[in-house]
Amino acid sequence: MSNRICEILGIKKPVIQGPMVWLTDAKLAAAVSEAGGLGSLGPNAGQTSVTRDPGETAERMRQEIRKVHELTNKPFSVNVLPVQNGDDIYTPPMLKVIYEEKVPVVTFVGEPDEKMFREFKEHDIKIVYRSLNPTPENARLAEKFGADIIVATGFDEGGTLPDKVLGTFSIVPLIADSVEHTPVMAAGGIADHRAFNAAFALGAEGVYCGTVFLMSKESRMAENVKEAVLKANAQDLLLFRTIPAYYRSLPGDLANTLVEMDKAGATNAELGKKMGGFANLRIGMLEGDMDKGYVSVGHGISHINKIMSAKEIIGTLCRDFKNCKNRSAAGEAIIFSGTGSGCAERMMNLLLTSKPLSSEMNRITDMMLSPLRLRLSFLRY
C-alpha cells in the first residue's frame, strides 16, 4: 500500500515525524524511518548542551546524521531553518554537512527560497516545505520553486504557533486547494487514526506529527513529562502570546507566570524574554523541570493514552490507510472514468473495496458508477 507521498520520499507509510528542537535524536528518527515513516533530526538533535558556534553546531549535526545512517538505511530528514531577516551564519555550514553526509530529505521551514531549493535539487534532496504561517501564496511559491511536498500546519500544533489562528481543519483544505500538483501533508493535533483519516478527507495525502512521537518509547523527552502529558488533555494547556505570536504549555510556574503577564497586558517582546527561548524548552521538556521551563505540546494529547513504540504509533495512525487511499483513488477514478477500458476494472475494484465516502463524493461516485454497478451485479449473480 503506497501513495504519492510514499513514492516521493521512498517510505511505506505517509507519516513524517516533524523535527523538534532539542527533542529529536538518531534513535527516534531511525525508529520512525525503520517503521516505514520518515524520521527527522531537528536543531540540537542528540545534544544536551548549547554551542553558539556555527561550525560546531553543524559538526554536532554531522555526528547525529552518521548515527542515523548506522541505525537505518531508510530515508530520513534534517531540518533547515534559515534566518529570515539578517545574517544567517548557521545555515551555510549546516547545508555543507547535509550535502556531504548525503541526507536524502530536508524539512525546510521559512519562506520559500528559490536558490536554496535549486541547490537541494542539484544534490538530489527531496524538499518538504513547511511554513510557520501557511498561506495560499507561500504554498504556491514553494510549488513554483520545486518543493516536493507542502505541509499545512494548523493552530492545534505543538511548538511555535502560527500568527493566524486557523485550526488544522481550516488550513489543510485551504492549502490543498491552493496548489496545483504538489501533495499536501497535514500537521497539528494529529495523534490517532481518526485525525489521520480526517486529514485525508480534508485533501491531505499524509500526516506530519510532532507531539505523538514525543510520547514514544524512543523519545528522549523526560519521563516525568511523558507521565504529565498522559494525564493531561488539550483543555489543560495554557496559551499565551510571545515572539513571534503564541505558544502553549502544560501548567507550571513559568507557564502560569506567562499567562498572568499576558492577561496583564505585557508586550510580546516582554513575554518572549520571560519565556527564555528554547533554553527553557530544554529545561522543561528534556530535563523535566516543568516549573523552571515550559512544556510545549499540541492538542492531540487528548488522544494519547499510553506510551508506545514509534512502530506502534505509526501502525495506530495508519490503521485505515487502505481506505483513505481508496477515498482519494475514488476521486481519480471519476477523473479517469471516460478515458479507457482499463479504468472499468479499477472502478470495479473500488466499488468492492472502498469504505463510505463523504456524502458529496458518494453522490458523484453513484452518478458515475451506476451503469458499472448494474454490470457488476449482473456479473455477481
Ligand X SMILES: Cc1cc2nc3c(=O)[nH]c(=O)nc-3n(C[C@H](O)[C@H](O)[C@H](O)COP(=O)(O)O)c2cc1C
Phi first, then psi, for residue 276 (nearest 5°) are: 80, 25
Would you say 70 or 227 has its CB closer to ligand X? 227
Residues 6+ apart with CB under 8 A from 328: 3, 200, 205
Asked if 314 and 35 count as a contact pair (C-beta separation under 8 A), the reply is yes
- Binding to ligand X by residue 209, rule CB under 6 A? yes
- The phi-psi region of residue 203 (left if phi > 0; otherwise alpha if psi is between -120 and 50; otherwise beta) is left
Q: How far is the CB of 334 from ligand X (least distance, A)?
A: 32
Nearest alpha carbon to residue 132 among 91, 164, 104, 106: 164
- Binding to ligand X by residue 14, rule CB under 6 A? no
- Binding to ligand X by residue 252, rule CB under 6 A? no
Question: Hey, what's the cell of 329?
Answer: 483513488
Q: Using the rule CB under 6 A, which residue among 5, 9, 58, 190 binds ligand X?
A: 190
Find cell 488539550 and name the residue.
234
Q: How far is the CB of 312 from ligand X (least distance, A)?
A: 16
Nearest alpha carbon to residue 327 among 300, 360, 375, 303: 360
Q: How far is the CB of 210 from ligand X (least distance, A)?
A: 2
Would you say 191 or 330 has its CB closer to ligand X? 191
**Distance (Å, whole) CA 33 – CA 14:** 11
Asked if 297 and 237 count as a contact pair (C-beta separation under 8 A), the reply is yes
**Distance (Å, whole) CA 162 – CA 239:** 13
Which residue has its beta carbon closest to ligand X? 210
Question: Hey, what's the cell of 275?
Answer: 519565556
- Binding to ligand X by residue 162, rule CB under 6 A? no
Asked if 214 and 23 count as a contact pair (C-beta separation under 8 A), the reply is yes
Would you say 23 or 30 has its CB closer to ligand X? 23
Q: How far is the CB of 81 from ligand X (least distance, A)?
A: 6
Would you say 183 or 298 has its CB closer to ligand X? 298
Size of the site for ligand X (CB under 6 A): 28
Spell out, one character per residue from 290 to 309, where the chain touches ligand X: x when CB under 6 A holds, - when not.
------xxx-x---------
Q: How far is the CB of 287 from ligand X (least distance, A)?
A: 14
- Binding to ligand X by residue 206, rule CB under 6 A? no
Positions that interact with ligand X (CB under 6 A): 18-21, 23, 42-43, 79, 107, 109, 153, 156-159, 187-190, 208-212, 296-298, 300
